[in-house]
Amino acid sequence: MKLLPSPIARRAPRALLLFTLAAAIATIVAGCDSRADDAAAPPPPQVSVAPVLTEQVRQWDDATGRIAAVDSVELRPRVSGYVQRVAFDEGAEVARGDLLFVIDPRPYRAALDQAEANLARARAEAQLAGTQDVRAQALVDAQAISRDEYETRRAATAQSGAGVRAAQAAVAAARLDLQFTEVRAPVAGRAGRAMVTTGNLAQADATLLTTVVSQDPVHVYFETDERAFLGYQAQARAGTRNGGENAVRIGLADETGHPHAGVVDFVDNQVDPSTGTVRARAVLPNPDRRFTPGMFARVQLEGAAARPAVLIDDKAVITDQDRKYVYIVGDDDTAQRRDVVLGRIVDGLRVVDAGLAAGDRVVVNGAQKVFMPGMPVAPQVVAMRGGQPAAAVAGR
C-alpha cells in the first residue's frame, strides 16, 4: 500500500520558496533605493565665475589696407650714355643726394669745354663790336661816316651781346649735362636693385636705373563704407569726434591685435560709386623699419567717442539658435540664465549692450556643467580679463 504525503507537507516547500523570493526582492529594492538616494544628491559642479567689467571703451571700425611709401621714385637718367659705375649697395638705405650711378662723363666734359670756348669767342667779338661802336659814334658826329654805316655797327654790337648770352646759356646747359652724369638719390629711403649694371647703355628719361622708396614715416591706404563715413561726418559737425582727430590702430599679418598707432591725414574728395566706399590715408611712424611698402595691414578707425560699457569674456556666451545668453551666479550659488545683446570685441573682451549690469557674476568656464537654470554650482571667482583666480590678481 502506497502512502501519500499530507496536504500540509505538500505546501511546505512552496511556502519556503515564496518566502525566499520575497526576501531577495526586498533586498534588491532596498539596494536600489540606496543607490537612488546617492544619485539624487551629487555635489554641485565647480565653475569659474568673474564679475563683469565696466569700463570706458571706444568704438573701432575695422578695415583692411596696404602700406605705401610717402615718397616713391623710379630713378631714370637725364642724359644718355654708358654706365661707368654703380655706386650703391642694392637694398641699402641711402640719404638724399647720395651718389648711385655714374654715366661716362667724357663726352659731356668735352661738350662743356667747347661751350666755354664758344663763350670766350663770343665775348671777344662783343668787345670788338663795342669798341667799333664807340668809334662809330665819334665818326658820325664828325660826319666822317654815313648814318647807315653807324647803324650797322650799332646792330653788330647788339648781336654780339646776344651771342654772349647764348654762349653763356650753352655753357650752363653743358655744365648741367655734366652734373647729370652723376645720378644721385632725390629722396632719402631704401634703394632697390640696380636694373642697369656697368657697361650698359642708359637712355635719357627712358631707362629705369633703380627705385628709391622712403621709410619713415609711411602711409596706410584703406577704405571705409559710405554709412560709416556719414557717421564720421555727423560726429565732426557735432564736435564729438575726439577733438577732430581721426585716430587709427594698425596691425600686421603676423601680429595679434592692433599695436601701432597713427592718424588719418587725408580723405578722398568723392565716394567710389562702384563700391560705395571712400578711400582714406593714415600716416604712421616707422623708426624701426617695421613696415615695408606693399604690406597688408589690418586697420581700425576710431568710430565714436568713449562711452561706458559692460565687458565680458567671449567664452561665456552661449548660443541658442538666434539668441545669445550667459549664466550668472547669484548670492545663493545657483546658476541663472540671462539673455544678452552683444556688441563688438574691444581689447579682447565682448561688449554687452543689454542684459547685464555691474556686479553680475558670469560663468566664464564650466557652463557646459550647468544643465538647467537654478542648478546649484560651486563658484570659483576669477578675473574677467586673463582668467586668473581673484586672489592671484589682487596679489600682483
Q: pLDDT class for 33, splitting at 50, 70, 90?
A: low
Place of cell 540671462: 338
How confident is the model at residue 83, as a pLDDT? 95
Choose the most confident range, by mean pLDDT, from 206-210, 248-252, 313-317: 206-210
Cα-based distances in Å from 375 to 34, 168, 258, 316: 23, 100, 41, 17
**Angle, in degrees to the nearest 10, between helices 147-180 and 106-141:** 160
142-146, 256-260, 299-303, range with the lowest pLDDT: 142-146
CA distance 193 to 70: 19
Which carries the bigger pLDDT value, residue 34 or residue 247?
Answer: 247
Across the strands, what pairs with 213? 72, 190
**What whole-number percentage of the chain has pLDDT above 90?**
33
The H or E element containing residue 277 is: strand 277-284
192 SS3 class: coil
Residue bearing the bigger pLDDT, 13 or 251: 251
More confident residue, 38 or 233: 233
User: To the nearest whole percent, how much of the chain has pLDDT over 70?
Assistant: 82
CB 246 within 8 A of CB 194: no
The more confidently predicted of residues 22 and 252 is 252
Bond from prior residue into 217 cis (ω within 30 degrees of 0): yes
Domains along the chain with CATH numbers:
46-56+309-395 (2.40.420.20), 60-69+216-306 (2.40.30.170), 80-103+181-213 (2.40.50.100), 105-179 (1.10.287)
Structure confidence at residue 396 (pLDDT): 34
- The stretch 310-317 carries a mean pLDDT of 84
Task: For residue 89, give Cα distances in angstroms to 92, 120, 188.
Answer: 6, 43, 14
Where do we find the cell 516547500?
Answer: 13
- Give Cα separations from 54 to 26, 57, 69, 310, 385 (angstroms): 61, 9, 41, 5, 12
Q: Is the pLDDT of residue 159 over 90?
A: no
CA gap 240, 238 in Å, rounded? 6
pLDDT at 340: 86
Contacts of 267 (CB under 8 A, 6+ apart): 278, 279, 280, 281
**Cell 646776344 sits at which residue?**
162
Average pLDDT over residues 258-264: 89
Residue-wise pLDDT for 89-112, tens only, equals 999 999 999 999 999 999 999 999
* Long-range contacts from 123-128, C-beta under 8 angstroms, 24+ separation: 123/164, 123/167, 125/160, 125/163, 126/157, 126/160, 126/161, 126/163, 126/164, 128/160
| pTM (2 d.p.) | 0.64
> Which pLDDT belongs to residue 45?
84
What separation, in Å, do the N-terminal and C-terminal C-alpha atoms of the chain show? 104
Residue range 264-288: average pLDDT?
91
Whether 200 contacts 80, CB under 8 Å: no
CA distances for 239 relative to 217, 265, 266, 300, 309, angstroms: 29, 18, 19, 21, 22
Residue 368, sorted as left (phi over 0), alpha (psi -120 to 50) or beta, turns out to be alpha
- On average, the pLDDT of the chain sits at 81
Measured CA to CA, the distance from residue 38 to residue 100 in angstroms comes to: 88
- Confidence band for 195, pLDDT divided at 50, 70 and 90: very high
Least confident of 55-69, 126-140, 204-218: 126-140
Pairing of strands 99-103, 81-86: antiparallel
Q: How many Å apart are CA 55 and CA 70, to the nearest integer?
A: 37
C-alpha cell at 359: 556686479
